[in-house]
Chain A
């Protein structure tokens, strides 16, 4: 996890296309400039960045289900809850689920766990948009492969 670069997911460990579920893991870094401000002498993972973790986890699943033909853009977050503080060094596991694939949009949910206990959860909505450029599409393909998503297997 590199907070400054929004590289929230270290590795996708499971994708179940039939069940429309994904599991991903990441470790909150011990050091980050984010913690210089959040908070001085009391580093704490910001809730907004936990939302980003959840958005990326379920967003990758939306991409997979759509065969990487277009990209999901986060447009809505509902019922976000942060149940426990998350500190540097924590190993997090996120489990995302896509409830509905509409025409041009998708709706899903995600929960994050630490030591098996839910620390955050949210309902998420995505608009499905064309890639802005072929280069950006390749950037996302490379990114997906770096976190162990078998892009070639899923891409249409």
Chain B
């Protein structure tokens, strides 16, 4: 069974045409992979569908804009995968 990170990486390959070998757990979706906000919506849609969740993008954006969080917390892929796992766990609770 593939990990959350592997599934996210596959989604990025599929939606953004980025070579799989360039996508690492430490990669920052925006700063390293240069995924823009519009392409990230496609990724968010695929993640929402795949995991049956709703990524709280508006809340994350607000937290970053207000200085309460960094983009690393949500857009470094290992952190994004952790956030997805939490949302999946909360859904099943």
- Say yes or no: A102-B61 contact (C-beta < 8 A), given A75-B41, A107-B45: no
A104 within 8 A of B: yes
Task: State A76–B41 Cα separation when bound (angstroms).
Answer: 10
Residue contact B57 to A103, C-beta cutoff 8 Å = yes
Residue contact B38 to A102, C-beta cutoff 8 Å = no
B63 within 8 A of A: no
**Which residues of chain A are near B42, meaning CB under 8 Å?**
76, 125
B54 within 8 A of A: yes
Task: State A134–B23 Cα separation when bound (angstroms).
Answer: 43
**Which residues of chain A are near B59, meaning CB under 8 Å?**
103
Residue contact B54 to A76, C-beta cutoff 8 Å = no
A16 shortest CB reach to chain B, Å = 22
**Which residues of chain B are near A104, meaning CB under 8 Å?**
57-58, 61
Of the residues A75, A76, A102, A127, contact of B48 by C-beta under 8 Å: A102
Enumerate chain A interface residues (CB-CB to B < 8 A): 75-76, 100, 102-105, 107, 125, 127
23 contacts across the A-B interface (CB closer than 8 A): A75-B38, A75-B41, A76-B42, A100-B45, A100-B48, A102-B41, A102-B44, A102-B45, A102-B48, A102-B54, A102-B57, A103-B44, A103-B54, A103-B55, A103-B56, A103-B57, A103-B59, A105-B41, A105-B44, A105-B45, A105-B57, A107-B45, A125-B42
Additional 17 contacts, C-beta under 8 A, given A102-B48, A102-B57, A127-B41: A76-B38, A100-B49, A102-B41, A102-B44, A102-B45, A102-B54, A102-B55, A103-B44, A103-B54, A103-B55, A103-B57, A103-B58, A103-B59, A105-B44, A105-B45, A107-B45, A125-B45
